[in-house]
A and B are shown apart, each in its own frame.
Chain A
Amino acid sequence: MIKLENVTKVYPDGTEAVKDISFEVQKGELCVFLGPSGCGKTTTMKMINRLIPITRGKIYIDGMDNTKIDETELRRNIGYAIQEIGLFTHMTVAQNIETVPALKGWDKAKRRKRAEELLELVRMNPSEFIDKYPNELSGGQRQRVGVARSLGADPPILLMDEPFGAIDPINRVELQSEFLKIQQKIRKTIIFVTHDIYEAIKMGDRIALMKEGRLVQYDTPANLLYRPKDEFVEGFVGADRALKGLQLLRVKDVMTTSPPTIQAKDTLEVVRRRMEHVGIDELPVIESDNSFIGWIRISDLKKGKEIGDVISPLTITLTVNAVLNEALSLMLSSGLKTLPIVDENNKLEGILTFDAIQEELHKAVQTGGS
């Protein structure tokens, strides 16, 4: 889909920003350009849509040399989102999203419909936001509009330059997860530039790790973490690479399905015997329809006579698609060693224990990823 062949950028003052880089990005893959600032990752990305002219080498898009394609035509067929978002403040959300469709000459009704579709896609209510101006939106909402705008004319390729860089950490994690969900649906070929290793591991199908203009390792996140090619990669992914690997695992990979449970109608005597029988000190309580209502701990059994007296109602729940580092940080912050996994209707699907996470991590480091 996108093929770089001996790509080199030398600036007029002699600085070699990018040195002889070659690799290929497959159709429908999200490829992260990762590296410390000044490593040439943004320069490389901008050579793809020719915002920066290439010095030597070739970039092929679908087999076509990109210097043979008309500059504006090329850019209109490649979505572009940047860190400062660059939303046009004098235009409404709709006008922003419709920028490329308008340049391509779509008629008004079709453009409007597209803008509505895209707002739905980034989970913003069209009727509420479509005629708002960027200055009326929060940072996160602007970022979403930025993503929607880059998808305006449904380009097969997206270039994203630290698209979530200006967002606070909490919202960033949420936007990343949402964007991954969107990517599941749209399956674009994406170049995603970041300096954040966590973001790279979470987002990338493949990561191109760069250093001083050179491509150091082009690999899957797991291989980058567990099979670093050299000391630089090892240093960059950090000593806590095992922890970072948590981002590669989802709750569904490690949870215990059909765990021992307690029915809400059980007596405390039944509960006690059951706990002794399975050897677990805390068990989830469910209604007869399998919906989760809380926990019972063995230490709490003496505190009352009925389940209602001793149950700890728990609002902290996870879904099967949550990544493990979220699960772990929830455990650490709540002090719980076991978390309930529920579906969107609050039906219990399983439990996640601290021990299971530890075991999985140990396995990953031993075998060098999966």
Chain B
Amino acid sequence: MRRWLVLFILIIILIGLTVWITNMGQIGIFSTFTYGNILHHSKDHLIMVFWAILIAVAVGVPLGTLVTRPGFNKLSPLVLGIANIGQSIPSLAIIALMAIIPISLLIIDFGFNFKTAIIALFIYGLLPILRNSYAGMRNVDPAMVEAAKGMGMTRWQIIRKIELPLARPIIMTGIRISTVVTVGTAELAVLVGGKGLGTITFTGVFAMEPLLILQGAAPTAFLAISLGFILEQIESWMTPRGLKIKSEIS
């Protein structure tokens, strides 16, 4: 209950801040962004995050699963290591890198634009999803997998009916963490030709006007918190009932 209260207060403050600054209309020589602007940039922001996470899930879950398979498990340190590097490079650098490294140029007409931003965000958001998929699949009790095999399930059936449902809560946690982080990182997208709420924030940065920075930062924080909350609910809803009982007993 206390968590919910804190969350609620935070959201009220963030909305309040946004409304307050937007209603000012004018800060010194600068005019503030309108509600229309904020909505528009929020939408772009969410679209970028959505695509980045979608690709990260599409790559991370199968890859995380693959490296738990016998024959591929020797690759797991390598794969996780590469993903680790992806996240340890400062986010600004990775976004800038994406804009200039030739390989990205080869794929599509990257350069400084929306797609570049999405690819950069994907690389940055991949690790939590990949790591949690790997951990979730490895966490499945080997006795269950053996029983499934011994009863005549095919490899694919074991993954689909046994391992993935059991790993789902952990994978979902990875997706949530990745999403929340990416909402923040997506602020930087504007620097490589992306869009989103970063447009407002960086206008404030260049104008050296703290309130204008806040006008971009507050809705971003609002999005991150709300998305985190929504995904947490989905996570709990997607956890198989039989697994929840365990957590209630122990």
Contacts and interface: CB of A to CB of B under 8 A. Distances in A.
Interface of A: 49, 51, 72-77, 80, 82-92, 99-100, 103, 133-136, 149, 152, 159
A72 B154 contact: yes
Given A51-B146, A133-B242, A100 B152 contact: yes
A51 B150 CA distance: 7
Interface string B162-173: 100110000000
Contacts of A74: 152
Interface-central residue, A76, A99, A152, by most chain B CB under 10 Å: A99
A76 B153 CA distance: 8
Q: Which interface class (under 10, 10 to 19, 20 to 34, 35 or more) fits B? A: 20 to 34
B136 to A, nearest CB: 13
B245 A82 contact: no
B141 A86 contact: yes
Contacts of A152: 151
B245 A133 contact: yes
A85 B242 CA distance: 16
B224 to A, nearest CB: 30
A89 B143 contact: no
Interface of B: 141, 143-144, 146-154, 157, 162, 165-166, 240-243, 245-246, 249
B149 A51 contact: yes
Specify the main secondary structure of chain B where it touches its partner.
helix
A85 B148 CA distance: 11
B150 A82 contact: yes
Nearest to B240: A90
Interface-central residue, B143, B144, B147, B245, by most chain A CB under 10 Å: B147
A85 B245 CA distance: 18
Contact of A90 (B154, B157, B242): B242
B246 A80 contact: no
30 contacts: A51-B150, A72-B152, A72-B153, A75-B149, A76-B151, A77-B152, A80-B147, A80-B151, A82-B143, A84-B141, A84-B143, A85-B143, A85-B147, A86-B141, A86-B143, A86-B146, A87-B144, A88-B144, A88-B242, A90-B165, A90-B242, A90-B243, A91-B240, A99-B148, A99-B153, A103-B151, A103-B152, A103-B157, A135-B242, A135-B246
Contacts of A80: 147, 150-151
A100 B149 contact: no
Q: Top 8 A-B pairs ranked by shortest CB distance?
A: A86-B147, A75-B152, A76-B152, A133-B242, A90-B240, A84-B143, A80-B150, A86-B143
B148 A82 contact: no
A78 to B, nearest CB: 8
B197 to A, nearest CB: 39
A344 B144 CA distance: 40
Interface-central residue, B151, B241, B245, by most chain A CB under 10 Å: B151
Given A80-B150, A82-B147, A88-B148, 17 more contacts: A49-B150, A51-B146, A73-B152, A76-B151, A86-B143, A86-B144, A88-B147, A88-B242, A89-B240, A89-B242, A89-B246, A92-B242, A103-B157, A135-B243, A135-B245, A135-B246, A136-B245
Interface-central residue, B141, B149, B152, B242, by most chain A CB under 10 Å: B152
B152 A135 contact: no
Contacts of A91: 240, 242
A48 to B, nearest CB: 11
B62 to A, nearest CB: 21
A214 B13 CA distance: 75
A134 B151 contact: no
Given A89-B242, A92-B242, A75 B165 contact: no
A232 to B, nearest CB: 30
A135 B143 contact: no
Contacts of B157: 103
Nearest to A150: B151
A133 B248 CA distance: 13
Nearest to B247: A135
A76 B157 CA distance: 13
A85 B151 CA distance: 12
Nearest to A89: B242
A91 B149 CA distance: 16
A133 B144 contact: no
